[in-house]
Structure 1
Amino acid sequence: MESDDIIAARIGSVLPLLNEFQRRCYLAAEASGLGWGGKSKISTLSGVRRSSIARGVKELASPHIQMGNNKLRQIGGGRKKETTRQKGLIDTVKEIVEPHTMGDPERLLIWSSKSIRKVKEALNQRGYKVCHEVVRQIMQSLNYSLQCNKKTKEGGNHPDRDAQFEHINNKAKEFIANGFPVISVDCKKKELIGDFKNAGQEWTIVKRPVEVNVYDCVDKTNGKAAPYGIYDITKNRGLVSVGISSETSSFAVATIRGWWEEEGKMLYPNTNKLYINADGGGSNGSRVKLWKEELQQFSTKSGLEIHVSHYPPGRSKWNKIEHRLFAYILKNWRAKPLETLAVIVSLIGATTTTTGLVVKAKIDATIYKTGMKISDEQVKKWNIKREDFHSEWNYIISPN
């Protein structure tokens, strides 16, 4: 399909050579060739009103319309544009909109929090007689557009952000090359259990959507589900433990321990090392003592030398589990109410991709305690070695 720029360039080169009847017919032909939405697009690209193009479509379809039977206005004839008839209209629109403009006015597109109908009312109060369609055309000519918010601010920008990414990447490559497991871990946001709306759309019979609760109030009987995930980067496999308790470090490491017992041992029978990539905050945060205490206990019992690297603050979306596991789980359960824990586990376990992703899911019914304190005596017993590069983010926990 041709791009808008190509179509606009062709229209711009042909229109000056045609009279008004020919212009209508030509633009009508262009619009018909585009199919649904063609008239609106050609109207935008050519600057000709949509109603004129629609008239051209009717004229092309009628066998009785001939060019000789159409009266042609002289050059410059016809009703003048409102911006020509009403002096200062464009400047007044700018004056009305700019105090409410959000964003950077130096950019090509700026956007307004005022609707075109409210701008029209403000113009009417100042003595201008215009409709909302004229306001829309003026706004577009001034490079305004309706836009939604764009998530681009990730939080703090640490000067060694890129260096830490490089460190994680190089170490992961080294582990994979030597046959050691590399896993990405994180806890997905808690999900309401029950007949609640779930984002997305799914194919259903027309006018027969799945009915859910009007209000997203927590069901005290069912509560919330906290899915904690493990993504094996080498094997492209995931394991998700769906907890019903608080998101704690004990829950996080219990999931990692469960992965090792159920899959890790069999997939990597000769390994004595494990590399974990985790976010910098939350239950697996770099500053959480309980996280390190639980990893120490896991290391001692499993005999594994556990290497840990945390992503820099505000960079959780770079964690591979986010876009290699959780993103596909969200797609798989879109528009499906998470009625029970069993439904959640089934939907997670049924997640697949064309690249061969395999996901297992299970329920963790353990009630984990919150507010647990780690004493200085416990910290002294850690067999932990901190790496030279950002020791707060990169460390190794060995068996006691």
Structure 2
Amino acid sequence: MVLKFAHVNRTDKSDVKVQQIWINTATELSGSARRIFMAQVVELIGWGGQRFAESVLGWDRKTIRKEQKEIQSGSPYIDGRRRSGRKKAEAHFPQLLDDIDAVVGHTGQTDPTFKSTRVYIPITAKEVRRRLIDDKGYRSREIIGERSLRTKLNELGYRLKRIKKCLPLKRIEETDAIFDEVHRINQEADEQAGVLRISLDTKAAVKVGRFSRNGQSRTPQAALDHDFDPDTTLTPFGILLPQQAKSYLWFTESKVTADFMVDCIEQMWGKIENRERIHTLVINADNGPENSGRRTQWLKRLIEFSDCHGIHIQLAYYPPYHSKYNPVERLWGILENHWRGELLETVKKTLGLARSMTYKGIRPVVRKVTRTYESGVTLSKQAMLDVEQRLERKSGLEPWFISIQPMADLG
């Protein structure tokens, strides 16, 4: 900031009106701007300026000298307050945020209305602290307290509140056992080298046209008062790599079938770096009609994928009525909030908005699929018996945990 003055004689410093203007101006300014103004007034006064500013204007001579040094050096002066104070907890524990995310990440539930990007978790800060000590090796005397943990959880996007609308409507007898097994498989996958974990899901179809999505926009836009006749509909299908925060989105005007999903996995696989080092693919899903543990065409295509690429596939489904715990749901929440204030008038604009969103600072790979997929493709009973022989189901939880070994490993 540079302040320029009109030509003023050095004798004008005795003018009471000029002095009052200088005092009032310095009072209105703050920080670096105030110091710059004071230093320039002293320079304007000339010899004896510092003494005059201190005795007549009431300015601190040390403050004036501080800014003069800053002007001479060309670099900003770091205030004492900025140099002092405690460092953030991450400076002492570089892995703290990652460990917090590991402790609570698998329990996070996306807002089912997609009206916010918040993730709700059912455990308190006190419980998070206990798990960090018991599971991650932190010492009780060293780890931050509950209040600071709440701040870190908020920074990571987690909210320690039980929201009634986010509670699942139903539970089945196996719900807790399914969650325990899903968490175990996911944790092992994230910790082991050569294992890639993906989360996939289909979002509700999007109507393309001048329809309101109940969002807000700074640009005035007129939407139609009904959405009965869209130009077309696009169904998004997404794959999220939770550990890498990379995402892939496909939009189709056709049906999202089992064949469609496996074709998308094939396309994603071709973009994975160092995929030759991956020996296991863990798939998190919500047991929907086209990708359930009983969907014959889905399982057949996955076996073919396993044999083609020589990798082990582990299916790990979330319990019924708990699909919001699937990590890819967080991607849908961000997408919905990203384009809520826009009119999805054309397919091109819809795809463009999807490409411009970010998940943890990374933009997704977006593609429109033009192929039309036939729905209802199934296998005969005899063909399914052959497929079933290639599947290894977990006892007691058969529909939710399925392992597929490549033919090369079976000899």
Both proteins in one fold, TM over 0.5: yes
Which residue, out of 213, 217, 224, partners 2:224? 213
Aligned position for 1:357? 362
Tell me how far 1:236 sits from its aligned partner. Answer: 0.7
For residue 296 of structure 1, what is the amino acid of its counterpart? I
Tell me how far 1:279 sits from its aligned partner. Answer: 0.4
Paired residues of 1:218 and 1:224 also in contact (CA < 8 A) = no
Q: Tell me, in whole angstroms, the C-alpha distance in 2 between the residues paired with 1:152 and 1:326.
A: 16
Render the CA deviation track for 1:98-135: whole Å, top value 9, x for unaligned: xxxxxxxxxxxxxxxxxxxxxxxxxxxxxxxxxxxxxx
Q: Tell me, in whole angstroms, the C-alpha distance in 1 between the residues paired with 2:337 and 2:235.
A: 18
Aligned position for 1:109? none
Tell me how far 1:297 sits from its aligned partner. Answer: 2.0
Is 2:180 the counterpart of 1:162?
no
For residue 175 of structure 2, what is the amino acid of its counterpart? R
Number of residue-to-residue matches in the alignment:
242
For residue 200 of structure 1, what is the amino acid of its counterpart? G
Is 2:341 the counterpart of 1:341?
no
Is 2:282 the counterpart of 1:285?
no
SS at match of 1:259: helix
Render the CA deviation track for 1:83-108: whole Å, top value 9, x for unaligned: xxxxxxxxxxxxxxxxxxxxxxxxxx
Which residue, out of 352, 374, 378, partners 1:373? 378
The equivalences for 1:210-289 within 5 A come to 210-219=221-230, 222-262=231-271, 264=272, 266-289=273-296
Aligned position for 1:105? none
Which residue, out of 304, 324, 332, partners 1:297? 304
Aligned position for 2:405? 398
Q: Tell me, in whole angstroms, the C-alpha distance in 2 between the residues paired with 1:218 and 1:267.
A: 46
SS at match of 1:381: helix
Q: Tell me, in whole angstroms, the C-alpha distance in 2 between the residues paired with 1:155 and 1:278.
A: 19
Tell me how far 1:235 sits from its aligned partner. Answer: 0.4
Tell me how far 1:189 sits from its aligned partner. Answer: 0.4
Tell me how far 1:162 sits from its aligned partner. Answer: 2.2
The equivalences for 1:1-400 within 5 A come to 151-152=165-166, 154-179=168-193, 180-204=195-219, 209-219=220-230, 222-262=231-271, 264=272, 266-323=273-330, 325-353=331-359, 355-382=360-387, 383-400=390-407
Tell me how far 1:270 sits from its aligned partner. Answer: 0.2
Q: Tell me, in whole angstroms, the C-alpha distance in 2 between the residues paired with 1:398 and 1:342.
A: 41
Tell me how far 1:305 sits from its aligned partner. Answer: 1.2
Tell me how far 1:387 sits from its aligned partner. Answer: 1.9
Tell me how far 1:274 sits from its aligned partner. Answer: 0.1
Paired residues of 1:186 and 1:230 also in contact (CA < 8 A) = yes
SS at match of 2:308: helix
Aligned position for 2:159? none
Render the CA deviation track for 1:16-59: whole Å, top value 9, x for unaligned: xxxxxxxxxxxxxxxxxxxxxxxxxxxxxxxxxxxxxxxxxxxx
Paired residues of 1:186 and 1:284 also in contact (CA < 8 A) = no
Q: Tell me, in whole angstroms, the C-alpha distance in 2 between the residues paired with 1:273 and 1:169.
A: 17
Aligned position for 2:151? none
Paired residues of 2:199 and 2:284 also in contact (CA < 8 A) = yes
Q: Tell me, in whole angstroms, the C-alpha distance in 1 between the residues paired with 2:354 and 2:187.
A: 28
Tell me how far 1:267 sits from its aligned partner. Answer: 4.9
Q: Tell me, in whole angstroms, the C-alpha distance in 2 between the residues paired with 1:337 and 1:290.
A: 37
Q: CA 1:312–1:359 in 2, change beyond 3 Å: closer, same or farther? A: same
Paired residues of 1:307 and 1:396 also in contact (CA < 8 A) = yes
Q: CA 1:389–1:359 in 2, change beyond 3 Å: closer, same or farther? A: farther
Tell me how far 1:152 sits from its aligned partner. Answer: 4.6
Q: Tell me, in whole angstroms, the C-alpha distance in 2 between the residues paired with 1:318 and 1:273.
A: 22
| Identity %, equivalent residues | 26
Tell me how far 1:377 sits from its aligned partner. Answer: 2.7
SS at match of 1:186: strand
SS at match of 2:368: strand
For residue 290 of structure 1, what is the amino acid of its counterpart? Q
Render the CA deviation track for 1:303-345: whole Å, top value 9, x for unaligned: 221100111111111111112x111111111121222222222
Q: Tell me, in whole angstroms, the C-alpha distance in 1 between the residues paired with 2:217 and 2:289.
A: 32
Tell me how far 1:150 sits from its aligned partner. Answer: 5.9
Render the CA deviation track for 1:201-252: whole Å, top value 9, x for unaligned: 1222xxxx21122220233xx4210100000011011101111101211112
Q: Gaps (5+ residues) in structure 1?
A: 1-148
Render the CA deviation track for 1:165-218: whole Å, top value 9, x for unaligned: 1211111111121121101110000001122222311222xxxx2112222023
For residue 346 of structure 1, what is the amino acid of its counterpart? G
Aligned position for 1:112? none
Paired residues of 1:341 and 1:363 also in contact (CA < 8 A) = no
TM-score of the two chains, using structure 2 as the length reference: 0.56
Report the more deviating stretch, 307-316 or 253-262. 253-262
SS at match of 2:211: coil
Paired residues of 1:227 and 1:243 also in contact (CA < 8 A) = yes
For residue 292 of structure 1, what is the amino acid of its counterpart? L
Tell me how far 1:378 sits from its aligned partner. Answer: 2.1
Q: Tell me, in whole angstroms, the C-alpha distance in 1 between the residues paired with 2:233 and 2:395.
A: 41
Tell me how far 1:348 sits from its aligned partner. Answer: 1.3
Paired residues of 2:269 and 2:275 also in contact (CA < 8 A) = no
Q: Tell me, in whole angstroms, the C-alpha distance in 2 between the residues paired with 1:304 and 1:380.
A: 22
Report the more deviating stretch, 250-259 or 375-384. 375-384
Tell me how far 1:269 sits from its aligned partner. Answer: 3.4
